[in-house]
Amino acid sequence: MRTKTTYTLKEPLKFKQQLLQWSKQFEEIAWLDSNNYHQDYGEFDALLAAGAFTAIKTDSHQAFAKLQEYQQTTKDWIFGYLSYDLKNDVERLSSKKYDGLDFPDLYFFQPQKLFLLKGDQLEVRYLRMLDDEIEEDFTEISNLPINKVEIRQPETENSESKIQARISKEEYLQKVEKMLAYIQRGDIYEANFCLEFFAENREIEPFKVFQDLNELSGPPFATFLKLEEHYLLSASPERYLKKSGSKLISQPIKGTARRSQNPEEDIEIAEELSNDPKEQSENVMIVDLVRNDLSKIAKKASVNVDELCKVYSFKQVHQMISTVSAELDDGIPPVEALRATFPMGSMTGAPKISAMKIIEELEETKRGLYSGAVGYFTPNGDFDFNVVIRSILYNSVKKYVSFSVGGAITAASKPEKEYEECLLKAAAMRQALKNSSSSPFLNERE
């Protein structure tokens, strides 16, 4: 049982900054921030889970079964991630590409300390606390000065520490042409194709980079995750799947356009995206895939498209988003709802299994946590998970930094435009990492 205390905050935004700063002392941190972005299905403005009381980490073998046992045994709040490569647990697939990050395929923990923020209301829920521990922590957090993080530069700079593309632009265009050949042959209708940017022997200050990335993007599913030496700094705008009671909500994104500082031009860009037949067809294909996935675990005739191809605006980009809902069938465990729909349609393609096989063939690196999901379970089995996109991944022991970007390839795709969209999506991560170093930033190997 958790001990619960509630506070009314005088300065919620300031307290959020203090809370994240205070969390640095812990080996396990999950910070989820909506950035006060208006959304219909948000439960909290921000969540902090800190310090592992128990944890589970595993490779993909029987990962969902292990997670189900862990979730049903703890019957508590648990926070963590599902990597893309759990596809190998769901289907007869494999992941044999290079992995510079070396994250476990699945990692969840039961936090000792939990903070739930909504408006000016703060709930604090601790496990096995000492006398007055909540009050002492609250006082310490409230009195923290908000300091700008000092960036520690490596003593020497070398070419290895620069961010570079895993493949050149020319190689990317050739691979997209191969994917188009699979589409023309009828093997797939659509597939998500990604490329990695990486740096070896690179040190970053994860909190600083996350703060910069979050400030640049302001997305509704921002995440700072620290699990030992593994870090995720995510500015994700996309919800994968949410369960509230028996209701399931999925909000796939397909369709991206740049923002403009000129208000009139910005409106025009959003309208063009809204009316673009290629972007609409991409989105509709993924909506059909999500509907099919949800139908496996939903009550009959309960799957519904609540909103189709609506354009939402974020700081960096306009996005085309759809909302699909369903009623979870009786007797189906919460983890099974994730297993039946994983990996998410927006990061795979249609048909899903064929698309994942082609992705494995053509991409150069193991996706790992990129295009997986981060989120939490509540004690009663509700959950909410994002899609890990627009994210920086970092292994502080290996000093390996990585971010990947991609897009949906369809019969109407033009390779050059797909590459331009990748660079557009990469802009915020590039800028956040550039802010963390005085060294030249990117070598695209062109």
Q: Active-site residue numbers?
A: 238, 254
Distance CA 404, CA 101 (A): 12
Cβ–Cβ under 8 Å, residues 364 and 341:
no
Cβ–Cβ under 8 Å, residues 250 and 238:
no
Report the DSSP beta bridge partners of residue 407. Answer: 193
Under DSSP, is residue 221 helix (H, G, I), strand (E, B) or coil?
Answer: strand
| Residue 159 falls in which region: left (phi positive, over 0), alpha (psi -120 to 50) or beta | alpha
183's enclosing H/E stretch is helix 169-185
Distance CA 386, CA 316 (A): 18
- Residue 378, judged by CB atoms within 10 A of its CB (0-12, 13-18, 19+), counts as middle
Strands (E), 9-105: 28-33, 46-58, 78-82
Distance CA 309, CA 321 (A): 5
Distance CA 336, CA 90 (A): 11
Tokens of 29: 């941190």
- Count of beta carbons in the 10 Å neighbourhood of residue 187: 15
Give the helix, strand, coil percentages of the chain, each rounded to 5. 35, 35, 35
Under DSSP, is residue 26 helix (H, G, I), strand (E, B) or coil?
Answer: coil
**DSSP structure class, residue 298:** B
